[in-house]
Structure 1
């Protein structure tokens, strides 16, 4: 497997693996996307293998310079986008910045009431807003077939979470572009674990990406 990059590779001991799919739990408990109920999600090897049909890249950050997010959103064509953040992150600040830059966005996370989450989801589903900032509450239970770009603004905590963020209705198996920000050696380690576990190659984001590879007809 290709290391995330030479600089980050010096921070951690990245090992070569055979790239075969690793067995995982047959089921896992996760909160429903909008409601406070719980549902059980089944993830099998067939689902994992569909990651091979998804365009996946990483972007290296210097000094946590996430202004790159705004640059990418301004130059990479997309219909709708999902931006995943860690639960402790500031969603409101990011949404405010996005809207101030004429990038219509809403937030969906446990910190807002359920009725507000439903309203935000309705706006996103109906195309009234192009971007949603979310946590793992958004990872299942919603139909986001129009979303063709996923940003891992914050690195998932493990390979299961990485898979969950992509394996959603309208996501896995469909054309989709996944961009993951890598800020340090810890992030690089997780991304290389993703490559090894799922047998995929995640390369550095090129200057240009062919829209045909991720834009749905």
Structure 2
């Protein structure tokens, strides 16, 4: 069954298509049976890891990930020597390998797009996805997933859509046979099962506490330092709007004795993945990032997200804050508001998702945004609670 599915962030969309694919796949040596496309290298790496984790007891199944920033010869050699049955990757690298005949897609039975709306909104990526789709068989399962699916890209939105281009793209991607094909006089135009959240208010995470702070641009650094010193956090992600701001804020935090790392598109792929793995494994507690990690990335210990810079849209806001409070856990999202355009985005978020985001109070109850066990985190940090004097805070655990 083919499906386009919407569900809130942090509720297991990746597990749905990973387990569904593993349940159905009939691996044949030397043939790619499943193809998963996503928009960033970090997300591709994470999805590949999930396939590997869930296929532990499927010893004959091989999974591989392909993305740019890595010498393409490495990928060509891998495909030549040990062709995987499941391929995960970004559209640009997958298309390059397919066009050069290093990657055969003629036996693909499962075609998955994660964060599909993000891939369809970029003209270049959209074209790559379409070209890849044309290289796969008509007879396959197609699955598309995202937390945000505008009506303009949904296959069922035909006459109602005001954005015909986006709508027609989605229909073309899903279309498996020409519209003129018929079977015994019956049209065979294909339509997927469409699963949507009927009320956008349901897209917000119930365990996520959301607040804003109104301040001037020049006050952001001081306020951020105060928050990091006062809040109890397992891990925190701080979102900024540009590569230069990410690098500068990371430098300032380190100067203030907050051991942060940053991830942005200006880094080499090797360095980005190294830092991503380190943060995911808990080696660092503070991550400064652009929207490169705003979608799909699952770091289970993140319980606080700070929007140092307001995102450009309500959709981006939803994806960013969804890095905290995942899988029903508690979390806290704090957004800095410093100009009129920030206010506009915040108002849009509140009206669209029917939430009341209040100003951050002077005192906030830790139990409303954190359900971590202090002893467990302390152990992970190699600390012992018995050596700490007075109340235990993350500042003590992190910077002792």
Q: SS of the residue aligned with 2:287?
A: strand
> TM-score if structure 2 supplies the norm length?
0.45
- Structure 1 or 2, whichever has the larger Rg, is 2
1:154-165 map, 5 Å:
154-165=309-320
The match for 2:213 is: 59
Residues 136-165 of structure 1, C-alpha deviation per residue, up to 9 Å, x if partnerless?
210234321101110001000000100111
Higher relative contact order (CA closer than 8 Å, sequence separation 6+) = 1
The match for 1:84 is: 239
Q: Number of residues paired by the alignment?
A: 192
CA shift for structure 1 position 33:
5.4
CA shift for structure 1 position 30:
6.6
1:87-166 map, 5 Å:
87-166=242-321
Q: Do structure 1's residue 214 and structure 2's residue 369 form an aligned pair?
A: yes
Q: SS of the residue aligned with 1:124?
A: helix
d(CA) in 2 for partners of 1:174 and 1:47?
A: 20
Runs of 5+ unmatched residues, structure 1 = 1-24
Q: Would you tell me which structure has more helix in proportion to its own residues?
A: 2
Q: Tell me: CA distance 1:104–1:57, structure 2 relative to 1, closer, same or farther (3 Å).
A: same
Runs of 5+ unmatched residues, structure 2 = 8-36, 45-66, 68-89, 92-112, 116-145, 148-195, 373-400
The match for 2:114 is: 40
d(CA) in 2 for partners of 1:70 and 1:212?
A: 21
d(CA) in 2 for partners of 1:166 and 1:71?
A: 20
Residues 35-44 or 175-184, more deviating: 35-44
d(CA) in 2 for partners of 1:47 and 1:146?
A: 26
Q: Over aligned residue pairs, what C-alpha RMSD do you find?
A: 2.5
The match for 2:228 is: 73
d(CA) in 1 for partners of 2:322 and 2:367?
A: 21
Q: Do structure 1's residue 31 and structure 2's residue 39 form an aligned pair?
A: yes
